[in-house]
Amino acid sequence: MPEFSPVITDYWRAAFSGEPLHSNEYLTTTVNPDLDHDDRVAVLWTADDDRISIAINPAVALALTKNVAVLANPTETNIRAALTAQGVVLNGADNVFYLTESVADDILGDTAPTNVRQLTDADGDMFAAFKAAVSEEDWDGAYVELDHWAVFGAFDEHERLVSIGSMYPWDDEFPLADVGVLTLRSVRGRGHAKTLARAMFRYALNEGYEPQYRCQLDNAASIQLAASLGLQLFGRWETVMPDEE
Average pLDDT over all residues of the chain: 94
Q: Is residue 1 assigned to a domain?
A: no
pLDDT at residue 245 tops 60: no
Q: What is the pLDDT of residue 242?
A: 81
- 23 and 40 inside one domain: yes
Q: Is residue 236 assigned to a domain?
A: no
pLDDT at residue 244 tops 70: no
Q: What is the pLDDT of residue 1?
A: 64
- 136 and 173 inside one domain: yes
Q: CA 30 to CA 14: how far, in whole Å? A: 11
Domain that holds residue 138: 101-229
- Confidence band for 22, pLDDT divided at 50, 70 and 90: very high
Q: Which residue from 142, 176, 171 is spatially nearest to 152, judged by alpha carbons?
A: 142
Q: CA 232 to CA 225: how far, in whole Å? A: 11
> pLDDT tens digit string along 184-216?
999 999 999 999 999 999 999 999 999 999 999
Q: Is residue 237 assigned to a domain?
A: no
Report how many domains make up the chain.
Answer: 2
pTM (2 decimals)? 0.94
- 35 and 106 inside one domain: no
Q: CA 195 to CA 205: how far, in whole Å? A: 16
- 37 and 144 inside one domain: no
Kind plus residue range of the DSSP H or E element containing 15? helix 6-15
- 113 and 86 inside one domain: no
- Which residues in 71-194 belong to E strands, given as ranges? 94-98, 116-118, 150-155, 161-169, 176-183
- 107 and 225 inside one domain: yes
pLDDT at residue 45 tops 90: yes
Domain boundary among 94, 122, 145: 94
> pLDDT tens digit string along 70-127?
989 999 999 999 999 999 999 889 999 999 999 999 999 999 999 999 999 999 999 9
- 76 and 118 inside one domain: no
Q: What is the pLDDT of residue 92?
A: 87
Domain boundary among 94, 126, 147: 94
> pLDDT tens digit string along 47-75?
999 999 999 999 999 999 999 999 899 99
Domain boundary among 94, 122, 156: 94
Q: Is residue 214 assigned to a domain?
A: yes
